[in-house]
C-alpha cells in the first residue's frame, strides 16, 4: 500500500504539439537523463449504481500497466487554475479484481461502510498512451511530466484525451507555477479542472460538452490577515478566467468573450489596484500594464455590443430616424476584427500565460504589510480612501470632470468584490448595496459612451454622408442616455457621501 498527497497541474494541449514538447529547450534543459518512459495504461473506474463513492468525494479505479494491476482511490480535492491537491491511496493487485482493503485502516473502513449494501460496478474505461519523465525545474523541485494521448470510453461513445500532467514529486507549488508560466509562454495551453473520472461520468450522463466546473466562491475571514484572504479572491477570479477561456475558445462561443471573461479580468485588475500599497512599484506597474493590455480589447468588444444594442433600439422605435444599414455593417466588421484579435490572444496562450504568471507571483511573493493587517482593518482603510476620492470632486461635479470618477469606479470595483464576504467600517449592508449599484451603473456608462475620437476611428476615414448621419444619431442617443445615467449616479454618490 502506498499513500500520499497528489499535487499536480493538468493542462490541455493540441495534438500537434505532442512531438514539439520534447524538443523544447525549456524541457530538455531540466530533463533528468534516463527518466523517459513510454507506458500504455488501461484504467477502469468503478462506483455503486447511485455513485456513493463520487458523492462522498472519492474516485476508484483499477489500472493495468503492462502485466501489473493496481487499485487506486483518490479523494476529490480542490482544483484551482488546473492545479489540484488530493489524497491518493494505492494497493497492488494480483489480478483485475475490486478490493476494499489494504489502502489504509481508517480509509478501508470508510470504503466498506459506504459500499456495505452495494457492489462496485464498472463505469467506463480510460486508455492512455503516456510518455513520462522527471524534470528538475529548480534546485528544490522535481516534477514528473506525463504527456497523455488517449480516450475515455463509456457505453459505446468516447472522448479524446490530449493533455500534460505535471506532478510535484519533491519541492514546492511556487516553483511549479513559475515553470508552467514559462511553458505557457512557449506553448498554447489550457487548464483542465476535471479529473479523468469526472470526464468519464460526464460522458455517461451525456454532458461531455461541459468544459469544467467553476471553483466555489471562497469564504473570507474578516479577522484573518489581508494577504491570505485577498489572495483567495485572486485565485477564484483567475480560475474563472482559465476555465472560461476554454469555453470562449469554441468558435460559437467566441462572440460572448466579453460576457464570459471581462467581469473576471476587471475583477483581477480592480483587486490589483486595491493592493498597490503592498506590491513593489516596478512589479505593480508592469503587471498593471499587462492586465490593461488584455482587458482593453474585451472592453472594446463590450462597448461595441452596447452600441449594437442601442442601434437596434433606435431602429425599433419606428420613427424612421435611422433607415440605413451602413453603421450596422460597420459595427459587424469592427466586431469581427476585435473577435479575431481576442481569439488570437486566447489560442496563442496569452491569457493562460498571464494567469499562471499572476498565480506564481501571488504564491511566491509575500506582502509584508498585508500579512500584519486584518482584512476588516484593510477594508476600513480602503473605504476611507474611497471617500477621499469622493471629496476631491463632489458627485454633482462628475459630469464635468470624469477623471476622478474613473478612479472611484476602479476602487469601487475592488471594494465590491470583497464586499460580498465581509462588512467593515461604514461598509454596511445599505452602503454595500449602493456601492454595488454605483459600480454597475458606472461600468455600463463607460461601455456605452462613444467619444468624438471613437466615432472618427469607427468611420476610418469613410466619407459618406449617410454613415456620418447614422453615427451622429447613435452619438445623440447615447448622450441622452448618459445624462439620465449621471443623474442616478449622482444620487447614489450623494447617499454614499453622507457622513
* Domain ranges (residues) in the chain: 2-213, 227-497
Query: In degrees rounded to 5, what are phi and psi of residue 426?
Result: -90, 5
Cα distances (angstroms) measured from residue 413 to each of 106, 199, 432, 438: 47, 35, 11, 10
CA end-to-end distance (rounded Å), the chain: 65
Contact 61, 76 (CB under 8 A): no
- Phi and psi dihedrals of 67, rounded to 5? -105, 0
Residue-level pLDDT at 209:
40
Instruction: Answer whether 200's CB lies under 8 Å from 152's CB.
Output: yes
Q: What is the DSSP string of 175-189?
A: HHHHHHHHHHHHS--
Residue 142: beta bridge partners? 136, 170
The whole-number pLDDT of residue 208 equals 41
Architecture of domain 2-213: Beta Barrel (2.40)
Full-model pTM: 0.78
C-alpha cell at 346: 486566447
Contact between 189 and 349 under an 8 Å Cβ cutoff? The reply is yes
Per-residue pLDDT tens digits of the chain, which is 499 residues long: 455 677 889 898 888 888 889 999 999 999 998 999 999 999 999 998 888 888 888 889 999 988 899 999 988 666 655 666 678 889 999 999 999 888 887 788 888 888 887 889 999 999 999 999 999 999 999 999 999 999 999 888 888 999 999 999 999 988 999 999 999 888 888 887 778 888 888 888 764 444 344 445 677 788 888 888 898 889 889 988 988 998 898 888 999 999 999 999 999 998 998 888 889 999 999 999 999 999 999 999 998 898 888 888 787 765 555 555 777 888 888 899 999 999 999 988 899 999 999 999 998 888 878 878 888 888 888 888 777 777 776 666 666 655 556 667 777 777 777 776 666 666 777 878 888 888 888 777 776 776 666 666 666 656 677 777 777 777 777 777 777 777 787 788 777 776 5
Alpha-carbon gap, residue 373 to 186, rounded angstroms: 38
Query: Which of helix, strand or coil describes residue 171?
Result: coil
The Cα–Cα gap between 398 and 390 comes to 10
Helices (H) and strands (E) in the chain, counts: 17, 10
DSSP structure string for 389-402: HHHHS-GGGTTT--
52-55 long-range contacts, Cβ below 8 Å, gap at least 24?
A: 52/114, 52/115, 52/118, 53/111, 53/114, 53/115, 53/120, 54/197, 54/201
Cα separation, 426 vs 125, whole angstroms = 56
In this structure, are residues 21 and 162 in contact, taking their beta carbons and an 8 Å threshold? no
CA atoms within 13 A on the CB side of 467: 16
> What pLDDT sits at residue 224?
85
Amino acid at each position: 500500500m502506498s499513500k500520499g498527497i497528489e499535487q499536480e497541474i493538468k493542462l490541455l494541449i493540441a495534438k500537434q504539439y505532442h512531438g514539439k514538447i520534447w524538443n523544447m529547450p525549456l524541457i530538455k534543459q531540466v530533463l533528468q537523463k534516463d527518466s523517459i518512459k513510454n507506458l500504455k495504461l488501461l484504467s477502469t473506474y468503478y462506483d455503486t449504481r447511485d455513485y456513493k463513492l463520487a458523492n462522498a468525494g472519492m474516485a476508484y479505479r483499477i489500472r493495468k500497466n503492462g502485466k501489473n494491476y493496481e487499485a487506486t482511490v483518490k479523494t476529490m480535492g480542490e482544483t484551482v487554475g488546473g492545479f489540484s491537491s488530493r489524497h491518493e491511496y494505492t494497493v497492488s493487485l494480483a489480478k483485475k479484481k475490486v478490493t476494499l482493503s489494504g489502502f489504509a485502516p481508517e480509509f478501508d473502513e470508510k470504503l466498506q461502510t459506504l459500499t456495505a449494501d452495494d457492489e462496485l460496478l464498472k463505469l467506463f474505461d480510460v486508455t492512455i498512451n503516456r510518455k513520462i519523465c522527471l524534470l528538475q525545474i529548480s534546485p528544490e523541485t522535481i516534477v514528473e511530466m506525463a504527456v497523455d494521448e488517449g480516450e475515455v470510453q463509456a457505453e459505446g461513445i468516447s472522448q479524446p484525451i490530449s493533455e500534460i500532467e505535471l506532478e510535484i514529486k519533491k519541492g514546492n507549488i511556487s516553483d511549479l507555477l513559475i515553470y508552467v508560466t514559462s511553458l505557457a509562454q512557449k506553448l498554447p495551453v489550457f487548464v483542465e479542472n476535471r479529473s479523468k473520472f469526472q470526464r468519464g461520468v460526464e460522458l455517461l450522463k451525456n454532458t461531455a460538452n461541459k468544459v469544467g466546473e467553476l471553483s466555489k466562491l471562497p469564504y473570507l475571514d474578516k479577522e484573518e490577515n489581508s494577504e491570505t484572504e485577498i489572495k483567495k479572491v485572486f485565485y477564484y477570479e483567475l480560475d474563472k478566467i482559465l476555465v472560461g477561456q476554454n469555453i470562449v475558445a469554441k468558435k460559437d462561443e467566441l462572440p460572448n468573450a466579453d460576457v464570459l471573461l471581462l467581469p473576471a479580468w476587471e475583477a483581477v485588475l480592480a483587486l490589483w489596484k486595491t493592493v498597490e500599497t503592498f506590491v513593489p512599484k516596478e512589479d505593480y506597474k508592469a503587471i498593471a500594464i499587462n492586465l490593461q493590455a488584455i482587458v482593453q480589447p474585451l472592453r472594446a468588444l463590450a462597448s461595441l455590443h452596447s452600441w449594437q444594442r442601442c442601434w437596434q433600439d433606435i431602429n425599433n422605435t419606428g420613427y424612421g430616424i435611422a433607415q440605413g444599414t451602413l453603421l450596422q455593417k460597420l459595427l459587424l466588421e469592427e466586431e469581427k476584427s476585435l473577435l479575431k484579435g481576442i481569439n488570437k490572444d486566447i489560442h496563442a496562450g496569452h491569457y493562460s500565460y498571464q494567469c499562471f504568471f499572476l498565480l506564481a507571483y501571488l504564491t511566491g511573493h509575500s506582502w509584508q504589510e498585508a500579512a500584519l493587517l486584518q482584512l476588516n482593518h484593510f477594508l476600513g482603510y480602503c473605504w476611507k480612501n474611497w471617500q477621499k476620492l469622493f471629496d476631491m470632486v463632489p458627485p454633482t461635479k462628475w459630469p464635468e470632470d470624469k477623471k476622478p470618477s474613473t478612479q472611484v469606479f476602479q476602487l469601487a470595483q475592488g471594494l465590491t468584490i470583497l464586499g460580498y464576504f465581509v462588512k467593515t467600517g461604514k461598509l454596511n449592508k445599505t452602503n454595500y448595496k449602493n456601492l454595488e449599484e454605483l459600480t454597475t451603473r458606472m461600468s455600463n456608462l463607460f461601455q456605452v459612451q462613444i467619444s468624438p475620437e471613437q466615432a472618427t476611428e469607427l468611420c476610418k476615414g469613410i466619407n459618406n454622408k449617410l454613415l456620418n448621419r447614422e453615427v451622429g444619431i447613435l452619438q445623440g442617443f447615447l448622450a441622452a442616455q448618459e445624462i439620465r445615467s449621471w443623474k442616478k449616479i449622482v444620487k447614489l454618490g450623494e447617499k454614499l457621501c453622507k457622513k
